[in-house]
């Protein structure tokens, strides 16, 4: 995401962004979750060995839409 315009950067611009010096990249751009993905939180497992994770839709770095989460206490959420 472009920090100045707050808009997503198209994949076609990835090569241009990758060519920026590291300082410019950190100042002007931020990696965000958008679309379908899997987030594993700190690799934490409960007593049964279940990972704490979320799998589903993201919208501008926020869980959004349908997804499935498993929490460290073993509880889960689908919706």
Predicted local distance difference test score (pLDDT) of residue 43: 65
Q: Can you give the residue ranges of every domain in the chain?
A: 1-31, 33-79
Predicted local distance difference test score (pLDDT) of residue 57: 92
Question: Which helix (DSSP H) or strand (DSSP E) does residue 18 occupy?
Answer: helix 14-18
Spans of the chain below 70 pLDDT:
11-12, 14, 23, 25-26, 43-44, 46-50
How far, in whole angstroms, is CA 21 from its chain's centroid?
23
pLDDT in tens, 49-61: 667 888 999 988 8
**Long-range contacts, stretch 61-70, CB < 8 angstroms, 24+ apart:** 61/32, 61/33, 61/34
């Amino acid at each position: 995401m472009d920090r100045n315009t707050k808009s997503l950067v198209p994949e076609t611009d990835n090569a241009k962004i990758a060519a920026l010096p590291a300082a410019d990249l950190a100042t002007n751009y931020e990696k965000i979750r958008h679309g379908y993905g899997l987030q594993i939180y700190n690799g934490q497992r409960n007593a049964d060995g279940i990972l704490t994770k979320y799998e589903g839709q993201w919208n501008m770095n926020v869980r959004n839409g349908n997804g499935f989460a498993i929490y460290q206490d073993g509880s889960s959420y689908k919706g």
